[in-house]
Amino acid sequence: MDVKDIENFYANRSVFITGASGFMGKVLVEKLLYGCPSLSRIYILLRPKKCVSISSRLDAMFRTPVFMHISTAFCHVDITEMKEKVYDSDVIPDDIIRMTQWLDDDTIEIITPRLLGPHPNCYTYSKRLAETLVEKHYPKLPVSIVRPPIVVPAWKEPVPGWVDNLNGPMGLLVGGAKGVIRTMYCKGEYIAEVIPVDYAINAIIGFSWLTTTKKDRQTKIPVLNITESKSIPVSWNEIMELGKKACYENPFEMMLWYPDGNIHSSWIVHMLCVIFFHWLPAILIDMLMIIFRQKTFMVRVQRRITEGLNVLQYFTTKQWIFHSETLKDLKTSLTEHDKKMFPLTTDGFDITSYFRESVLGARHFLMKEDPKSLPRQRKILKVLYVLHKFVSLAFYVFIMYTIISFMERLRHVLSARNFKLSVKPFGSTS
């Protein structure tokens, strides 16, 4: 098939999309409608709607000329150097499917940790199984696999900073900006494997065109790692500092405390901070809520934060190497028109501006906060800063006072003991 550009490739074709209501799915549908106006139809699978029969859905799916399976760059977390190929799995996906059908929920919950093995959650494990399952049906099924890393808010499209969920770094950013998250276990010098959602979608659309228009179908299933950490290497330390700066300039509403959290490479230091700055304040706030006969919430919030951090910290304390030769080939294969319509270049990417747009996007799209509240929130942030410094000073003074008092009491005890030892009993002789 010889179609020289992406727009003409999709002309008069039908595309079937599962997960169209998800973060990446929404951007994919928008981009196809906007960037490929001659597209015939887009079929999407939305459960639990039943307006289309199963047979009709299957017919529509197999009329699609090419399939794209969206995996994740972390589908094999135990492999530190990921090449663009499907790796062997020690588990047969069909066996897992059958097992979930005849085992009860309690039993599945018990054996889940053993099944996950090195994986931090079911998401990355299911992607591992899905790749094996997809490869099994290749080349009978014309399919390719794309592996995006951690997907973050849009750079440009559909609008700068657009995001619709609190997963991954966005949950950390919002929680930190609200003053709720004060610490995170992280190797700050490690490179963050993240990609804006619109960049990932452009790569997916382009890779579908590239693999389909090749004259000779590959003997092995095509795989694309959508990783750009080599082009724009950004460490977790930089993300933390840039995120803080953007949040200070554009503070959120309903801040519980001044946003001044930090990352720690020491697990012990991190856990001490969790106890003193997460759990103790949460318990104190809930106790006050009980006293004033209000509904408690902070301990419950901290449980959810802890669960989310435990997953994210798996990826912030490890380092992987991703090969992305196919992405380079895709970039060089695009026509000038496609490079403008489906950009895969990082030229002009201003990371400071990107973080500002991401914070504003989180305020608007996630927290539904009015931009007009920013001037008021900046004033509140200044008040919280003074209060934070005062409480911090009082805390350190209290700690120093406690240490000095303890040392003084200890000195008195030792002095009294030495005095008793130096006094001889009455009538004793030398």
Please check whether residue 75 lies inside any domain of the structure.
Answer: yes
What's the CATH code of the domain at 28?
Answer: 3.40.50
Whether residue 154 sits in one domain with residue 225: yes
Whether residue 381 sits in one domain with residue 232: no
Angle at 357 between CA 380 and CA 385, to 5 degrees: 20
- Three-class secondary structure assignment of 58-117: HHHHHHCCCEEEECCCCCCCCCCEECCCCCCCCCCHHHHHHHHHHCCHHHHHHHHHHHHC
| Domain region containing 407 | 375-411
> Per-residue pLDDT tens for 5-49?
898 899 999 888 888 778 898 889 889 988 998 898 888 876 654
Rounded (10°) CA dihedral 303, 308, 314, 316: -120
Whether residue 195 sits in one domain with residue 134: yes
Give the pLDDT score at 26: 84
pTM: 0.85
* Helix or strand (DSSP H, E) at 16: strand 14-18
> Per-residue pLDDT tens for 169-205?
899 999 999 999 999 999 999 999 999 999 999 999 9
Whether residue 381 sits in one domain with residue 240: no
Whether residue 379 sits in one domain with residue 242: no
Whether residue 335 sits in one domain with residue 390: no
Whether residue 329 sits in one domain with residue 403: no
Whether residue 397 sits in one domain with residue 330: no
Whether residue 407 sits in one domain with residue 332: no
Overall domain count for the chain: 2
Whether residue 237 sits in one domain with residue 383: no
Whether residue 337 sits in one domain with residue 380: no
Q: Rounded CA gap, 203 and 216, in Å?
A: 21
Provide the token pair at 72.
Answer: 């994740």
> Per-residue pLDDT tens for 131-169?
999 998 887 888 899 999 999 999 999 899 999 888 888
Whether residue 393 sits in one domain with residue 329: no
3 state SS of 385: helix
